[in-house]
Amino acid sequence: MMLMDPSDLAASSYFKPSEYADATALLIEPTVLNEDVRNEFNDQVTYRDEVVARVTVFATPAELAGKRPTVILESTTLTHGAIVSTARRAIGGGFAARIEPYKTKYGNVGQRFGDLDDSVKRLIAEYYEQRKAEIDAAAAEAPPF
């Protein structure tokens, strides 16, 4: 049995959308919404909402077609306003997306979740269903406690 480290379970990493801007697709599975989290940056204190999620990244079409994620970010913290705004509506569920740039009300470039083509969404759904079936099968084989 392979045991995880506590750091594997903690929301210790922050999702940086710009690092995944070129990814073919993302599977976002939000689990927790934390509202009014204190954030201190450059000696200024603000409060923001954060979402903790599992983010499965498929960097290339070949990885998506083969159902082999590039990386799975367990318990990563989403902090960007537009990203959190979308993810908070899916707590306990999931959605497929890509990162897309947009112009903020202040004229800056931000990142948000964008829609995927139906063919890409279908592959994400197949991956999700396959993963769920594998987890269910493993659970069924587990001895009762």
**Predicted pLDDT of residue 10:** 54
Question: Would you state the pLDDT for residue 145?
Answer: 73
Distances (CA, A) of 75 to 29, 82, 94: 10, 19, 14
Mind listing the pLDDT tens digit for each residue in 56-84? 999 999 999 999 999 999 999 999 999 99
Over residues 9-56, the pLDDT tens digits come to 554 589 999 999 999 999 999 999 999 999 988 999 999 999 999 999
**pLDDT computed for residue 68 by the predictor:** 96
Exposure string of 95-118, with b = 16+ CB inside 10 Å and e = fewer, is bbbbbeeeeeeeeeebbbbeebee
CA distance 96 to 64: 12
Q: Which band of pLDDT confidence, cut at 50, 70 and 90, is reported for residue 4?
A: low
| pLDDT of res. 11 | 47
